[in-house]
């Protein structure tokens, strides 16, 4: 897959950078996938979340992490479907199928 | 092999040492996310241009 | 095709989940390695099993902290050795925060 970027989000502290990078990449026609794990799943409740799910081409979270952060897996975050409440295989998809990689 | 080191905070001595070893004999660039206004346009260009990006804590 | 990944953990709050994440990639047929670079509480049996599972799939969990190696049966590594290992990796993942 040419011209694509996957971002692995492991903490809640970099939201402004995730938005900034995703916006800049999309403006260049780059396909962007975001996968949120561990405390990164707290960003599903961040005011920037709505914008992120609209900007990126593919967004998924680790359902197990979401549960460990105290959320109910039946409370599906805005812009996601139950299929996107997934496992670390989503990180594997970035590694396998995306040209470039960042950890934020 | 072109490496991009992205810093999310001020690198400590461990990070500096690892960056030095990983970069040895390779073309390396760096980008600081923790200093001033971030030029995301430039960052994305650098990430897409590099063979490997490492986003240090 | 299998890729070589190295996770690094600098913050005790992120070690256990970061190891789970490494295991997730081992299960995805990648080669997953990790290094604990901080003091941390003892791993419970479940997480020790995760380390064993990573080893069974040709990965390894190291630590640069001698007491952490001793307490959790992790493989000792120096910062210099860690740097050399990173040079062989396709993905280098400083996990979580400092």
Whole-number Cα distances in Å, A9 to A18, C33, C97: 8, 18, 11
Q: Which fold has domain A4-103?
A: Hypothetical Protein Ychn; Chain: A, (3.40.1260)
Q: Residues near A56 by Cβ (< 8 Å), separated by ≥ 6?
A: A22, A26, A32, A33, A34
B23 CA: distance to closest CA in chain A (Å): 18
Nearest to B53 among A23, A30, A101 (CB): A101
Which stretches of A1-104 are assigned E, i.e. beta strand? 4-9, 31-36, 58-62, 85-86, 100-103
Asked if residues A40 and A17 have their Cβ atoms less than 8 Å apart, the reply is no
pLDDT band at A1 (very low <50, low <70, confident <90, very high): very low
> Which residues of chain B lie closer than 8 angstroms to C86, CB-CB?
18, 21-22
Local confidence pLDDT in tens for the 98 residues of chain C: 899 999 999 999 999 999 999 999 999 999 999 999 999 999 999 999 999 999 999 999 999 999 999 999 999 999 999 999 999 999 999 999 99
Whole-number Cα distances in Å, A12 to A69, B56, C4, C50: 11, 15, 26, 25
B24 CA: distance to closest CA in chain A (Å): 21
CB contact under 8 A, A103 and C95: yes
Q: What is the pLDDT of residues A10-67, one digit of tens each?
A: 999 999 999 999 999 999 999 999 999 999 999 999 999 999 999 999 999 999 999 9
CB contact under 8 A, C97 and B14: no
Domain-wise residue ranges, chain A = 4-103
Contact pairs from chain A to chain B, CB under 8 Å: 44
Residue of C nearest to B26 (CA): C87
Spell out a b/e string for C21-43, using b for 16 or more CB atoms within 10 Å of the CB, else e.
bbbbbbbbebbbbbbbbbebeeb
> Which residues of chain B lie closer than 8 angstroms to C85, CB-CB?
none
The pLDDT of residue A91 is: 96
Write down the pTM of the prediction. Answer: 0.96
Q: Residues near A39 by Cβ (< 8 Å), separated by ≥ 6?
A: A10, A11, A12, A65, A69, C14, C96
The 8-class DSSP code of residue A102 comes to: E
C95 CA: distance to closest CA in chain A (Å): 6
Nearest to A25 among B8, B38, B44 (CB): B44
Question: Which tokens go with A67?
Answer: 């549960």
**Range of the structural domain that residue C80 is part of:** 4-95
CB contact under 8 A, B41 and A24: yes
Q: What is the pLDDT of residues C36-46, one digit of tens each?
A: 999 999 999 99
Q: How many domains does chain C have?
A: 1
User: d(Cα C97, Cα A11) in Å, to the nearest integer?
Assistant: 7
Nearest to B55 among A3, A20, A102 (CB): A102
Mutate to test the interface with C, among A36, A67, A101, A102 (most CBs of C within 10 A): A101
Q: For position C36, which CATH number holds?
A: 3.40.1260.10
Q: Which residues pair with C56 in a beta bridge?
A: none
Helix, strand, or coil (residue C73)? coil
Q: Which of C29, C30, C40, C58 is nearest to C96 (CA)?
A: C40
> Which residues of chain C lie closer than 8 angstroms to A87, CB-CB?
24
What are the backbone angles phi and psi of residue B26, rounded to the nearest 5°?
A: -120, 160
């Amino acid at each position: 897959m040419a011209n694509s970027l996957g971002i692995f989000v492991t903490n809640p502290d970099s939201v402004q950078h995730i938005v900034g990078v995703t916006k800049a990449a999309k403006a260049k026609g780059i396909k962007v996938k975001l996968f949120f794990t561990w405390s990164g799943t707290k960003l599903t409740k961040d005011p920037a979340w709505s914008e992120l799910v609209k900007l990126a081409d593919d967004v998924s979270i680790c359902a197990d992490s979401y549960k460990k952060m105290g959320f109910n897996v039946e409370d599906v975050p805005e812009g996601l479907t139950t299929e996107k409440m997934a496992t670390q295989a989503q990180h594997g998809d970035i590694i396998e199928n995306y040209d470039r990689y960042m950890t934020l | 092999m072109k490496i991009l080191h992205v810093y999310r905070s001020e690198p400590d001595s461990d990070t500096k040492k690892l960056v030095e070893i990983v970069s040895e004999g390779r073309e390396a660039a760096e980008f600081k996310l923790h200093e001033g206004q971030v030029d995301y346009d430039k960052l994305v260009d650098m990430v897409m241009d590099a063979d490997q990006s490492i986003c240090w804590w | 095709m299998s890729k070589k990944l190295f996770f690094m953990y600098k913050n005790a709050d992120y070690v256990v989940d970061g190891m789970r994440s490494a295991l997730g990639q081992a299960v995805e047929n990648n080669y997953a390695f990790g290094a604990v670079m901080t003091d941390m509480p003892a791993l419970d049996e479940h997480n020790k099993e995760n380390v064993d599972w990573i080893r069974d799939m040709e990965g390894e969990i190291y630590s640069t902290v001698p007491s952490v190696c001793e307490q959790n049966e992790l493989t000792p590594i120096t910062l210099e050795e860690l740097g050399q290992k990173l040079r062989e990796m396709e993905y280098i993942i400083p996990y979580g925060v400092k």
